[in-house]
A and B are shown apart, each in its own frame.
Chain A
């Protein structure tokens, strides 16, 4: 199945980021084509989450360029807010808004940011909740949901902005094992529909099954990348071998 196009949805060039003395990204180059699913794996502290957060400007990079859908994003002005409307982000700890119902969580972005009419936003939110299998929970507050349900709401909330790219920052790491499946199922469905996705995860089964490309990061740099079969079955770099040896 060749769903990729030549259109580059995310393009990162020479991205450097450090927290004080500590360099967490040492010149990352990465591009993600439209419809491509890229999974980033690697040991903790390797910079995978920071890379994702930099792409969404939740962290400020020291140098390097980030383009979303061909547009260079600059600091300051309304650039970042505009860009974020096109980039959905799903967090490890869900970060649902606890004072709002499930439905309000999903419709808030379109109403506040896209200035969509309330009725239109609610209809769309209901459709999205139906899609993630939570239509019956729309009037509940997040406190009443399980972790898996929360994360599915968070995905619906991000999708409500009709993003061009979805970033997933360890979306299943905070979940009980039996709840991981339902979240991955929603993500698989999204991938099948052709969403451009950049996923940081420790779910190797998901990476193998869904990813078009797997990137292995270690020590603040991209060490190896390729199709899942190559990276998982014939890793070339010995650090990749060591990492996969530990977890598989």
Chain B
């Protein structure tokens, strides 16, 4: 056999720091992404052009350009103005990137709530803000969970692009060990297993949350 799978078992633990780095980038970009996403989603559903246009422009630009380009712009491009370390560069680039997609997820979820819900809330005398916070958002967030889970998994995998600016996460670690030993396949398999573990656990957690919040739908 050309591949030595015992290396996979033997070297598996030394990837832990890299896996932690992957998790950190992913978690930070998800948190930023959700915050940005919520704000931008409100801009997108706003009737006020002052909010609508910047939000729409942001989504158009982010969705219309490659994530790797966005990462390079933050890390190399902005270096003339502010020199950021690789890790914060990755978090900023990926957070901004995820924010655009998450904004569209939130917008879709809010729009999917029947107009009658807003009318019923307003007919009780609630303000727009109260109706949004108490009636629309709780229902919309619940509906947003499956696509959000999807986006979180995408964010996990996209974090591997940070290897291109030398963040020592899973992919870079496997590349480095591979090129120094010529055992590329073995180390790539290790990285792959780590990604699978992370995305599987993430998928499971999202699924559980989804089920827990489905209490009110149960017949």
Contact = CB atoms under 8 A, between A and B. Distances in A.
A81 B219 contact: no
Contact of A95 (B116, B138, B142, B217): B116
B217 A143 contact: yes
A109 B123 CA distance: 10
Contact of B117 (A89, A97, A141): A97
A95 B119 contact: yes
B123 A58 contact: yes
Contact of B216 (A56, A141, A157): A141
A84 B119 contact: no
A108 interface: yes
B120 interface: yes
Contact of B116 (A88, A93, A157): A93
A2 B114 CA distance: 42
B123 A56 contact: yes
Interface in B115-137: 116-117, 119-127, 130, 134-135
B218 interface: yes
Given A99-B139, A99-B216, A143-B216, A84 B120 contact: no
A98 B124 contact: no
A161 B119 contact: no
A62 to B, nearest CB: 19
Contacts of B142: 99
Contacts of A87: 123
A72 interface: no
Interface string A70-112: 0000000000011011011101010111111100000011001
B2 interface: no
Interface in B63-108: none
Interface in B197-219: 215-219
A91 B124 contact: no
Contact of B119 (A85, A91, A112): A91
A157 B114 contact: no
B215 A141 contact: yes
A100 B120 CA distance: 14
Nearest to A113: B125
30 contacts: A58-B119, A58-B123, A81-B126, A81-B127, A88-B123, A89-B120, A91-B116, A91-B119, A95-B114, A95-B117, A96-B120, A97-B120, A97-B139, A98-B216, A98-B217, A99-B142, A99-B216, A109-B125, A112-B124, A112-B126, A113-B124, A113-B126, A113-B130, A141-B217, A141-B218, A143-B218, A154-B120, A157-B124, A158-B123, A161-B124
The 6 closest A-B pairs by CB, nearest first: A95-B120, A85-B125, A109-B124, A95-B116, A89-B123, A141-B216
Interface of B: 114, 116-117, 119-127, 130, 134-135, 138-139, 142, 215-219
